[in-house]
Amino acid sequence: MKQTAVKILTLAKEKFMRYGIRSVSMDDIARDLGMSKKTLYTHFRTKQGLVETIAVKFIEVDKQEIERISKNSENALDEIVQVAAYVIQTLRKVPEIALYDMKKYYHGCWNHFDRFHKEFIYNTIYANIERGKEEGLYRADADAEILARLYVGKSMLITDQDMFPMHQYPKADLFRQLILYHIHGLASEKGLMQLEKYFEAQQL
C-alpha cells in the first residue's frame, strides 16, 4: 500500500476512534493531513470505502492475534481466557460511539464484523470447546456446535442499543460478564479447579 494511503488510514482511524465515525468528514481528514480533497479521493473514492478498509484491517489484526493465542496456549482454558483478555482490552480502547456509528450508518462495514463473528469466531469457539472436552477441562456433554452458535449470538447482542444502551452498559464490562458466563457453564470440575489461576494471570 502506498505511503500516502497508509497516512490517510492512520489519521482517519485515530479520528474515528476519538470522535466517532459520523462526526468526522473527509474534509476534516484532508485538512488535518494538509492535502487537497482531490488527493484524498484519489486514494479513497468515498468515506464508506475508507471506513471499510479500516474495518477490514482491524479484523485482520484481531484474527492474527487470536490465532497466535490459540497456537501458543497451554490448554483450552488458557486459550479462552487469553482471548477474552485481549477482546476486553480492545473494547476498552474503542469508543462506544464508533461502534454505534458503524452499526447504524455503515451497514456494509458492519457486515464484515458480523461475518467475522459468524465464521472465524464461531470456528474458534467450536475448536476451543472440542479441545477443552478432550483435555477434560470442559463438560463431556457440551455440544460444541450449539454452544459456539449461542456464544456468537450473545456476543453480537451486546451491541444492541435497545438491550444495552451504550451510555449505561460499557461493552468491555458486558463482554467480561459474557465470557465468565460462558466459561463457568462449560468448565468441568477439573476445569473449575484450574480456572482461578488463568483468571489471575490475565487479571480477568
Give residue-wise pLDDT tens across range 80-92: 999 999 999 999 8
Containing structural domain, residue 18: 1-45
Same domain assignment for residues 31 and 100: no
Q: Is 24 helix (H, G, I), strand (E, B) or coil?
A: coil
User: Quick one: 60 and 130 in the same domain?
Assistant: yes
The larger pLDDT score, comparing residue 137 to residue 202, is at 137
How many distinct structural domains can be found in the chain?
A: 2
What confidence tens digit (pLDDT) does each residue in 51-68 have? 999 999 999 999 999 999
pLDDT tops 80 at residue 203: no
Q: How confident is the model at residue 166 (pLDDT cuts 50, 70, 90)?
A: confident
Same domain? 8 vs 90? no
Q: How confident is the model at residue 199 (pLDDT cuts 50, 70, 90)?
A: confident
Distances (CA, A) of 56 to 2, 10, 67, 156, 175: 17, 14, 16, 18, 22
CATH number of the domain bearing residue 60: 1.10.357.10
Same domain, 195 and 166: yes
The whole-number pLDDT of residue 127 equals: 98
Distance CA 87, CA 32 (A): 30
Does position 174 have pLDDT exceeding 70, yes or no?
Answer: yes
Q: Distance between CA atoms of 159 and 148, rounded to whole angstroms?
A: 18
Whether residues 58 and 15 share a domain: the answer is no
User: Do 18 and 58 share a domain, yes or no?
Assistant: no
Question: Domain with 40 in it: what CATH number?
Answer: 1.10.10.60
Q: Binning pLDDT at 50, 70 and 90, where does residue 204 land?
A: confident
Band of pLDDT at residue 3, cut at 50, 70 and 90? confident
Alpha helices in the chain (DSSP H): 3-19, 26-33, 37-43, 47-72, 76-93, 96-105, 107-115, 122-134, 144-157, 171-186, 189-202
Q: Residues 34-46: what's their mean pLDDT?
A: 90
In the predicted model, what is the mean pLDDT of residues 32-37? 90
Is residue 106 very low, low, confident or very high in pLDDT (cuts 50, 70, 90)? Answer: confident
Does position 40 have pLDDT exceeding 60, yes or no? yes
Neighbour tally for 102: CB within 10 Å: 25
As a residue count, the chain comes to: 204
| Same domain for 6 and 85 | no
Whether residues 70 and 37 fall in one domain? no
Please indicate, yes or no, whether residues 75 and 41 belong to a single structural domain of this protein.
no
Asked if 106 and 19 sit in the same domain, the reply is: no
Give the up-direction half-sphere exposure of residue 157: CA atoms within 13 A in the CB hemisphere: 10
Distance spanning both ends of the chain, measured CA to CA: 37
What pTM, to 2 d.p., does this model score? 0.90
- Confidence bin at 1 (pLDDT 50/70/90): low
pLDDT in tens, 133-165: 999 999 999 999 999 999 999 999 998 989 999
Residues 71 and 18 in one domain: no
70 lies in the same domain as 147: yes
